[in-house]
Amino acid sequence: MPQIVPKTMGQQFGRRSWAEPWKIKMVEPIHMTTREERERAMAEAGYNTFLLRSQDVYIDLLTDSGTSAMSDRQWSGLMLGDEAYAGSRNFYHMVEAIQEHYGYKYVVPTHQGRGAEHLISQAVIQPGQIVPGNMYFTTTRLHQELAGGKFVDVIIPEAHDPTDLHPFKGNVDLAKLESLIQEVGADKVAYISLAGTVNMAGGQPVSMANVKALKALCDRYGIPVYLDATRMMENAFFIQEREEGYQDKPIAAILKEFCSYTDGAWMSAKKDNLVNIGGWLAVNDQQLFDRLRNMVVVYEGLHTYGGMAGRDMEALAIGIREAVQDDYVRARVGQVRYLGELLMDWDVPIVQPVGGHAIFLDAKRFYPHLPQDLFPAQTLAAELYLDSGVRGMERGIVSAGRDPETGQHRYPALELTRLAIPRRVYTQAHMDVVAESVKAVYDNREQVRGLRMVYEPEYLRFFQARFEPITE
Ligand code: F0G
């Protein structure tokens, strides 16, 4: 694979600069707090940014999930909500948009991504089976484990190195996958759990060549490939930017081709379907669909709303059509890259190449004096909030949780603090403020001692764990 040098969006597209293909019609005031107020808020939140109140946050980069700004078209769509219990017209609009742009035959609505993960895991995994995938995601893996499966990471090794410039660090290591299948036997593999814009790897893409070869390999063994379609728009952008033969193809065509190499998908529509709540599950196999459609009424809601209001499904249908526009995706990834370039100019250690939805600060290189047991990435998220009220989140040892068999911490190679950029929400000036704050925290790095965990919940501990600063 060729090594890439990230280019500015201007160079890439032969223009002087890029700008967002929208203007602002309504604004939401935010305010800066004092250092003293932030110290109080952080202590009350147990040094966990998930436990802060959003009113105490200045620039909120906790997540790009459910935090997008909807368009005037989407807000108008809310007024067209058909709130019938069964057969809402908005459901059919949503199904049409999914069929047209993702290409799957059958759609099951869910309240958000993890609702869909629950259904697919319960429907497809037999206890004792393994689920290979291109790096774990927290909720995805937990649902696979709760269904009796075991997630096995088969991402390429470059993904675990934050400095490696491989252009498709989300790719599946096909040789590793094939030897795993041969070792355990194809009947022990429930499905391949493939994700685009791999979240925990730093928002890294999967190439078209890789998904195509993956599908061919799995077809030989009769193993289905299911896609976590969350953030596939950004993945499609990277294919257009970096993969031979895709430069002149629209994002929409790339997305649909990619999905054609998979047997179905689950989706957190709260990301690149540009809505504040919603999700879906889509498959091509009718028998599986019948089963999922039956399960959804038990766990989510009737099969024509799955936990969403009619108006939410209308906004989602419109959001899909807006999100496949090339100029939108270019500006979306361009803003993330803008922030990344500022930090790289100052030699702040981040995951490279810059990914599609967030900047990931490399806490291991940020705080080389802190062992992973002192939660460097959690510490960094807390320090950044204390400096400026910018909220990010930990994606390291806390997020990785404990091994269900041994009960010990899992020690992921990547110890990262994520600054996720909500879609269509912040300006370039906000990114400047964020970069300057990260720089200030970096300059102060030697003063920092780390955290100790004082409360740990059983599931997905990063959401609710509490910490105390180490002072000695
Ligand atoms: N898959 C991926 C890759 C995700 O990033 C998420 C959520 C989910 C599935 C679950 O979807 O939240 O709608 O239930 N990620 C959020 C984040 C929480 O901040 O990265 P959900």
pLDDT in tens, 235-282: 999 999 999 999 999 999 999 999 999 999 999 999 999 999 999 999
For ligand 1, say whether the CB of 230 is within 6 Å of any of its atoms: yes
Asked whether residue 90 is assigned to any structural domain, the reply reads yes
Share the mean pLDDT of the chain: 96
Do residue 274 and residue 394 come from a single domain? no
Domains in the chain, number: 2
Task: Tell me: pLDDT of 29 over 50.
Answer: yes
User: CA triplet 204, 210, 211: central angle to 5 degrees?
Assistant: 95
Structure tokens belonging to residue 456: 């740990």
CA of 202 to the centre of ligand 1 (A): 14
Asked whether residue 196 is assigned to any structural domain, the reply reads yes
> For atom 21 of ligand 1, which residue has the closest CA?
113
Task: Tell me: pLDDT of 228 over 60.
Answer: yes
Domain containing residue 430: CATH number: 3.90.1150.10
Percent pLDDT > 70 in the chain is 97
- Place 39 in a pLDDT band, splitting at 50, 70 and 90: very high
Q: Residue 137's closest CA among 202, 61, 210? A: 202
Do residue 283 and residue 428 come from a single domain? no
CA of 407 to the centre of ligand 1 (A): 24
In sequence order, which residues have a C-beta less than 8 Å from that of residue 368 and are 6 or more positions away?
A: none
CA of 269 to the centre of ligand 1 (A): 9
Domain containing residue 209: CATH number: 3.40.640.10
Structure tokens belonging to residue 379: 């510490």
215-225: per-residue pLDDT in tens? 999 999 999 99
Do residue 50 and residue 92 come from a single domain? no
54-64: average pLDDT: 98
Task: Tell me: pLDDT of 463 over 60.
Answer: yes
Q: Identify the domain containing residue 318 by its residue range.
A: 72-323
Q: Distance between CA atoms of 124 and 120, rounded to whole angstroms?
A: 6
Do residue 36 and residue 171 come from a single domain? no
Asked whether residue 66 is assigned to any structural domain, the reply reads no
CA of 433 to the centre of ligand 1 (A): 26
- Place 1 in a pLDDT band, splitting at 50, 70 and 90: very low
Q: Distance between CA atoms of 113 and 451, rounded to whole angstroms?
A: 31
Per-residue pLDDT, 149: 98
Q: Distance between CA atoms of 55 and 60, rounded to whole angstroms?
A: 10
Asked whether residue 78 is assigned to any structural domain, the reply reads yes
Do residue 313 and residue 373 come from a single domain? no
74-84: per-residue pLDDT in tens? 999 999 999 99
CA of 40 to the centre of ligand 1 (A): 29
Do residue 362 and residue 409 come from a single domain? yes
Asked whether residue 26 is assigned to any structural domain, the reply reads yes
Structure tokens belonging to residue 284: 């091509």
Q: When comparing pLDDT for 391 and 16, which is higher?
A: 391
388-394: average pLDDT: 98
In sequence order, which residues have a C-beta less than 8 Å from that of residue 268 and are 6 or more positions away?
A: 65, 112, 113, 114, 116, 230, 279
Per-residue pLDDT, 8: 56
For ligand 1, say whether the CB of 268 is within 6 Å of any of its atoms: yes
186-209: average pLDDT: 97
Task: Read off the amino acid at residue 111.
Answer: H
Do residue 414 and residue 299 come from a single domain? no
Per-residue pLDDT, 13: 55
CA of 35 to the centre of ligand 1 (A): 31
> For atom 13 of ligand 1, which residue has the closest CA?
113
Please say which residue of 270, 305, 323 terminates a domain: 323
Do residue 313 and residue 342 come from a single domain? no
For ligand 1, say whether the CB of 243 is within 6 Å of any of its atoms: no
Asked whether residue 2 is assigned to any structural domain, the reply reads no
CA of 316 to the centre of ligand 1 (A): 16
Do residue 42 and residue 87 come from a single domain? no
Q: Residue 438's closest CA among 345, 361, 351, 333? A: 361
> For atom 10 of ligand 1, which residue has the closest CA?
113
For 44, 155, 171, 243, 282, the CA distances from 2, given in Å and listed in that order, are 48, 18, 14, 11, 34
Please say which residue of 323, 357, 389 terminates a domain: 323
Task: Tell me: pLDDT of 421 over 90.
Answer: yes
Which residue out of 63, 65, 110, 418 has the highest number of ligand 1 atoms within 8 Å of its CB and is therefore the one to mutate? 65
Structure tokens belonging to residue 321: 């059509």
Do residue 164 and residue 248 come from a single domain? yes
Asked whether residue 241 is assigned to any structural domain, the reply reads yes
For ligand 1, say whether the CB of 376 is within 6 Å of any of its atoms: no
170-183: average pLDDT: 98
Do residue 83 and residue 100 come from a single domain? yes
Please say which residue of 323, 353, 376 terminates a domain: 323
Which residue out of 67, 143, 194, 230 has the highest number of ligand 1 atoms within 8 Å of its CB and is therefore the one to mutate? 230
For ligand 1, say whether the CB of 195 is within 6 Å of any of its atoms: yes
Residue given tokens 């597209």 in the structure block: 13
Per-residue pLDDT, 2: 46
Which residue out of 199, 228, 463 has the highest number of ligand 1 atoms within 8 Å of its CB and is therefore the one to mutate? 199
For ligand 1, say whether the CB of 270 is within 6 Å of any of its atoms: yes
Asked whether residue 38 is assigned to any structural domain, the reply reads yes
Catalytic site positions: 85, 137-138, 228, 271, 395, 462
Per-residue pLDDT, 18: 83
Do residue 157 and residue 19 come from a single domain? no
For ligand 1, say whether the CB of 279 is within 6 Å of any of its atoms: yes
